[in-house]
Amino acid sequence: MRVSVIGCGYLGAVHAACMAKLGHEVVGIDVDPWKIGELQAGRVPFFEPGLPELLEEVLAAGRLKFSTEMADAQGAQVHFLCVGTPQRKGEYAADLRHVDGAFAALLDSLEPGNVVVGKSTVPVGTAARLAEDLAGRHPDAVLAWNPEFLREGFAVKDTLAPDRFVYGVPDGGPGERATAVLDEVYSAPLALGTRRLVTDYATAELVKSAANSFLATKISFINAMAEVCEVTGADVTVLADAIGMDERIGRRFLNAGIGFGGGCLPKDIRAFMARAGELGADQALTFLREVDDINVRRRMRAVELTRTLLDGSLLGKRITVLGAAFKPDSDDVRDSPALNIAAQLQLQGAAVTVTDPQAIDGAQVRFPELTYERDLDEAITEADALLLLTEWDEYKGLAPEHAARLVRTRNILDGRNVLDSRAWRAAGWNYKGVGRS
Ligand code: UGA
């Protein structure tokens, strides 16, 4: 099929390459000429395992090209809207300027019978509004909402073999046509058994908001348990293992630590609360405010634990933060808990050095006042405390005896509870995890 992908950020670049991998002829469109130049040259402007190889493969096969011109979407039967929906400045609500702008521009390039497929995370009600606009301009085109559930670090796998597809479509013939077209687009993963649900627009939009809210709630739940463990001497990692053995609960997303960050969970729960407020259902989601609060408290708690490790004072102390990305296998530093903690420590008088295998360039732009060091050994040399805040494999595999020879004082805060505390203590370290005595 001939497919266009509007917006070539994280979601769009991955989606475009994956659609080409599925055998479609794809054009990726973005207003940013630099991004398009990089992608067309086979360079991925962010770190995502497996994507550079995939991009090279589909570019070489001639099935994918990129353009800054919306007119190049002409000729495609299916148009995927993959633009970002960031948090509005000074508000909780989502900023829909990119969605509205891209959609309006796309209207000029549509041809009879085209299917427009929204993938961006939007407030419930957006699809119905856009469908009305579409009907006014192109009565024979149809809109579907097909939310994306990819995780950074696993984006290619999550796109080619997702847990499920959700199609939000209108009633009747147009809905059936959109469903048939999407089934054809995704025929390969569907043939492998990927489940798919066909719903109305509002349900499809809400599936995405609900899924991210549930994941955020699960993380904040275990972090709330960590707070209780900290005052009782219990161990949150054992607690998570034990409750996770109950299949109804499940162990995944029960890792206590410094909380969630990134470009999705924090802004999505806030946008969901804002939308519920607009709809008069704000009471239904007040618990998400607590989820957000617990999450933000983890960052302050990490600062306090570091102060305790350093005998009550941060002033003039040399602290090395291991990890700047919001999670491993990503160079994304949007709302990164690790960087937020690093900045707070620096503001409170410590001299903070940050290291990360992929995220230093992005981190430097956001927090230029911090010191950055790419080499791990260099970064930890003469430190008074190490803080493991993003669980990259190289930090999980750090040998306590080796690190002990480099630092000034053997203090370590394991902000993700991923180190073997006994091994670190045996090597003479003052080890602190989170939510454990
Ligand atoms: C999240 C969702 O997991 C995806 O399903 C969704 O498609 C995506 O948002 C999106 O809306 O686009 P992502 O932001 O890539 O994906 O990251 P996650 O793997 O969900 O991690 C989010 C944060 O939670 C990270 O900071 C991570 O360190 C933290 N986390 C995760 C924990 O603190 N504990 C856990 O047990 C799991």
pLDDT, tens digit, 9 for 90 and up, residues 333-353? 999 999 999 999 999 999 999
For residue 254, what are the CA distances in angstroms to 244, 302, 325, 356, 381?
A: 8, 18, 19, 24, 33
Please determine, for residue 88, whether its predicted confidence score (pLDDT) is greater than 80. Answer: yes
Return mean pLDDT, the chain.
97
User: In this predicted structure, what is the pLDDT of residue 246?
Assistant: 98
DSSP of 396-422: HT--HHHHHHH-SS-EEEETTS-S-HH
Q: Please compute the mean of the pLDDT values over residues 231-246 and round it to a whole number.
A: 97
User: In this predicted structure, what is the pLDDT of residue 437?
Assistant: 75
Does the beta carbon of 94 sit less than 6 angstroms from any atom of ligand 1? no
C-alpha to C-alpha distance for 24 and 419, rounded to whole angstroms? 44
User: In this predicted structure, what is the pLDDT of residue 224?
Assistant: 98
What HEC string does 189-215 produce?
A: HHHCCCEEEEECHHHHHHHHHHHHHHH
Please determine, for residue 83, whether its predicted confidence score (pLDDT) is greater than 90. Answer: yes
Q: Determine the 3-state secondary structure of 239 from DSSP.
A: helix
Q: Cβ-count burial of 405 within 10 angstroms (0-12 exposed, 13-18 middle, 19+ buried)?
A: exposed
Please determine, for residue 106, whether its predicted confidence score (pLDDT) is greater than 90. Answer: yes
Domains 2-198 and 216-433 share a fold: yes
Annotated catalytic, 229?
no
- The pLDDT tens digits of the residues spanning 282-326 come to 999 999 999 999 999 999 999 999 999 999 999 999 999 999 999
Please determine, for residue 139, whether its predicted confidence score (pLDDT) is greater than 90. Answer: yes
Residue 5 CA to ligand 1 centre (angstroms): 24
Q: What does CATH list as the number for 216-433?
A: 3.40.50.720
For residue 388, what are the CA distances in angstroms to 346, 356, 362, 416?
A: 16, 11, 19, 7
User: In this predicted structure, what is the pLDDT of residue 107?
Assistant: 97
A 10 A CB-CB count for 422 gives 9
- The angle, 0 to 180 degrees and rounded to 10, between the axes of the packed helices 97-107 and 126-137 is 20
Residues ≥6 apart with Cβ < 8 Å to 128: 201, 202
How many residues would you count in the chain?
437
Please determine, for residue 217, whether its predicted confidence score (pLDDT) is greater than 80. Answer: yes
The model scores a pTM over 0.95: yes
User: In this predicted structure, what is the pLDDT of residue 17?
Assistant: 98
Does the beta carbon of 262 sit less than 6 angstroms from any atom of ligand 1? yes
Nearest CA residue ID for atom 30, ligand 1: 260
C-alpha to C-alpha distance for 184 and 117, rounded to whole angstroms? 13
Is residue 80 within 8 Å of 99, Cβ to Cβ? no
Pocket test for ligand 1, best of 11, 122, 151, 322 (most atoms within 8 A of CB): 151
Per cent of the chain over pLDDT 90 is 100
CATH top-level class of 2-198: alpha beta
Domain ranges of the chain: 2-198, 216-433
- The pLDDT tens digits of the residues spanning 353-382 come to 999 999 999 999 999 999 999 999 999 999
Compute CA 94 distance to the chain's CA centroid, rounded to the nearest angstrom: 16
